[in-house]
Structure 1
Amino acid sequence: MPHLPDVVLWSVPAFVLLTALELVSYRLHPDDQAEGYEAKDAATSIGMGLGSLAFDALWKIPIVALYTVLYELTPLRLPVLWWTLPLMLLAQDFFYYWSHRGHHVVRILWACHVVHHSSRNFNLTTALRQPWTSLTVWPFYVPMIALGVHPAAVAFCSSVNLVYQFWVHTERVGRLPRPFEYVLNTPSHHRVHHASQGGYLDRNFGGILIVWDRMFGSFVPEGERPVYGLTKNIDTYNPLRVATHEYAAIARDLKAARGWRERAGRIFRGPGWQPVSAAERADGPAASTAGVAEKVA
């Protein structure tokens, strides 16, 4: 297959320039309602991004090995051509949507992704606040490998998706013209995704395209001003705690769990799931909502 460029590496100068321009814009034109930049928070986001590069390099070893085995087993081959590459990008964006959605609704997956939502600010450095445990992402792209897409092509498409999403992490860009807002993931749509209000939770999962959210019922337009962060914020700038706090919370819940059914729920149900007690079950159907709690981290 032809050599594919490292789009993330080539985009680093643009990341730096755009972040500098956004920072200057807040200095020249402050926004009373937007947090803008806070030094410790931005430093944590950058530190999480740098750490993710190191850990991702580690996780790539078993993932690439597994993808390679699956690629050799499938009889299908999809060459990288001018007309197949857009189809690969479209497929990757589709599977990214389901990966992203899964990482919001399954707690053990949320433990990885919660890192990206842990900042109470929303600026371009927030895009760099990436998890250190991205080993949970690989299963969602197995269908692409099974269809004959080379692992390197899957990695390239994922990098393109990641680079695209950098610019949507800003409050300095308002709504775009309607055709763009209808098709693409934009800063307006992604502000909703990072908001912690109840009506905004678990919405707008798209990477490059927002059409998947429109198709599968997870789209919400931006209305009231978003409040960023988690429903229960962690109040720390320590990168290690940011990276592991939800795993620690899961471990505490497993230790206190009463039985294997509750343990399974603590891992595989939603992030805010709570077990229904015997007394609540005795109260009848009115207690059926007791096991659905607000998402916390």
Structure 2
Amino acid sequence: MEKEKLSVEHVLAMDLPEIIVYAAPVMFALVALEWIVSAYQKRELYDKRDTLAATVIGLVNVGISAAIKVITFGIILFFYNLVPWTIPHTWWAYVLCFIWIDFWRYWAHRIAHENRFWWATHVTHHNSEKYNWSVSFRLGWTQHIKIIFFIPVALTGFHPVVFFICHQIAVLYQFWIHTEYIRKLPKPIEFFFTTPSHHRVHHARNEKYLDKNYGSTFIIWDRMFGTFQPEEEQADYGITTPVNSYNPVILCFHEWMDIVKDIKHSKSLKEAWMVTFSRPSKLAQKKEALQKNIDAGILEPRAKSA
């Protein structure tokens, strides 16, 4: 039997559950509870300006997601309709799809740390020097272009409804791992799943913790692909070059602005390509070395563009 072609209108008419919207009141209540407890214990895990910035970024992101919903649906549907096969819409399809999505979330996340262009879509999530449940709201306003990393899921033949429900659950999972209060869990859980302990490492700028623990729901991908790092020393949160701003627009676009500046100052197309797509940590090291040579008088500073 020939596979039924689906349209955006057809899928939207199904009135898919907005799982994240339903979960939002619980998430906000837990943020408030964690904030109150940390204040009572004088742990200073929250900063009101930082939390306000995270909340604004999160709310705007929800609006952007709703505004481009038809586009994201259209991309997934296009590739789903492209292949002649489909995976039956059954309970086990959700299990398989969730695991497959998580595999691609690992690679999308890893690339977003190891390629500066994609880092610009993700850095917002890391530019807070606090670590609490509100940090999970800090998702950059340009991060939606990462939908292209999930095209293989559509090409596998998972029904778009299965895809979008599993994807929402995967995003929702990220909330609870952004906390200092949940320490290490039993070993079987720590071995297979991404936990707060693993994710604290991921958000740290300690040298031994940089570019580690990309796993979204499952930490097994990091163990398989050599990017796993257990939590040992206390994490120092934030990015290696602090933004020093609580302005949501700056927090979402500072890396894009820096890329544009670096391209303008590039002397060749090759250099422009390098400053756009190099590994951010390697590029930062080169810039630091260059600045040291300038400060030492070994090199002359570049003339700024007019």
Answer whether TM exceeds 0.5 for this pair.
Answer: yes
* Unmatched 5+ stretches in structure 1: 281-297
What residue in structure 2 maps to residue 17 of structure 1? 29
2:215 equivalent to 1:206: yes
* Unmatched 5+ stretches in structure 2: 1-12, 290-306
What residue in structure 2 maps to residue 286 of structure 1? none
2:143 equivalent to 1:105: no
Candidates 144, 167, 178, aligned match of 2:187: 178
What residue in structure 1 maps to residue 201 of structure 2? 192
Candidates 63, 79, 82, aligned match of 2:72: 63
What residue in structure 2 maps to residue 232 of structure 1? 241
2:153 equivalent to 1:132: no
Give deviations 1:91-111, integer Å, cap 9, x for gaps.
111110011001001111000
Distance 1:19 1:102, change over 3 A: same
Deviation at 1:152, TM superposition (A): 3.0
Q: CA RMSD in A?
A: 2.0
2:48 equivalent to 1:36: no
TM-score of the superposed pair, with normalisation by structure 2: 0.85
Moved more, 37-46 or 260-269: 260-269
What residue in structure 1 maps to residue 58 of structure 2? 49
Distance 1:276 1:188, change over 3 A: closer
What residue in structure 1 maps to residue 300 of structure 2? none
2:281 equivalent to 1:251: no
Counterpart amino acid of residue 22 in structure 1: E
In the aligned structure 1, how far is the partner of 2:282 from the partner of 2:91?
Answer: 46
- Map 1:267-286 onto structure 2 (within 5 A): 267-274=276-283
In the aligned structure 2, how far is the partner of 1:7 from the partner of 1:275?
Answer: 39
Distance 1:59 1:266, change over 3 A: farther
In the aligned structure 2, how far is the partner of 1:5 from the partner of 1:209?
Answer: 24
In the aligned structure 1, how far is the partner of 2:207 from the partner of 2:141?
Answer: 27
TM-score of the superposed pair, with normalisation by structure 1: 0.88
What residue in structure 2 maps to residue 294 of structure 1? none
In the aligned structure 2, how far is the partner of 1:53 from the partner of 1:3?
Answer: 17
Counterpart amino acid of residue 207 in structure 1: S
Candidates 7, 13, 18, aligned match of 1:6: 18
Q: Say if 1:2 and 1:80, in contact at 8 Å, map to a contact too.
A: no
Q: Say if 2:93 and 2:158, in contact at 8 Å, map to a contact too.
A: no
Counterpart amino acid of residue 158 in structure 1: H
Deviation at 1:28, TM superposition (A): 2.6
Deviation at 1:140, TM superposition (A): 1.1
Counterpart amino acid of residue 74 in structure 2: A
What residue in structure 1 maps to residue 271 of structure 2? 262
Moved more, 154-163 or 120-129: 154-163
Q: Say if 2:202 and 2:213, in contact at 8 Å, map to a contact too.
A: yes
What residue in structure 2 maps to residue 151 of structure 1? 160
Runs (4+) of structure 1 exceeding 6 A deviation are none
In the aligned structure 2, how far is the partner of 1:10 from the partner of 1:22?
Answer: 20
Q: Say if 1:266 and 1:273, in contact at 8 Å, map to a contact too.
A: no
Q: Say if 1:55 and 1:133, in contact at 8 Å, map to a contact too.
A: no
In the aligned structure 1, how far is the partner of 2:109 from the partner of 2:67?
Answer: 21
Deviation at 1:61, TM superposition (A): 3.3
- The share of aligned pairs that are identical, in percent, is 35
Q: Secondary structure at the match of 1:83?
A: helix
In the aligned structure 2, how far is the partner of 1:245 from the partner of 1:39?
Answer: 21
Counterpart amino acid of residue 182 in structure 2: V
2:258 equivalent to 1:241: no
Q: Say if 1:111 and 1:247, in contact at 8 Å, map to a contact too.
A: yes
Q: Secondary structure at the match of 2:275?
A: helix
Give deviations 1:221-277, integer Å, cap 9, x for gaps.
001100000101000000111110000000000000011111111112111444999
What residue in structure 2 maps to residue 87 of structure 1? 96
Distance 1:4 1:86, change over 3 A: farther
Counterpart amino acid of residue 127 in structure 1: S
Count of residues in correspondence between the two structures: 275
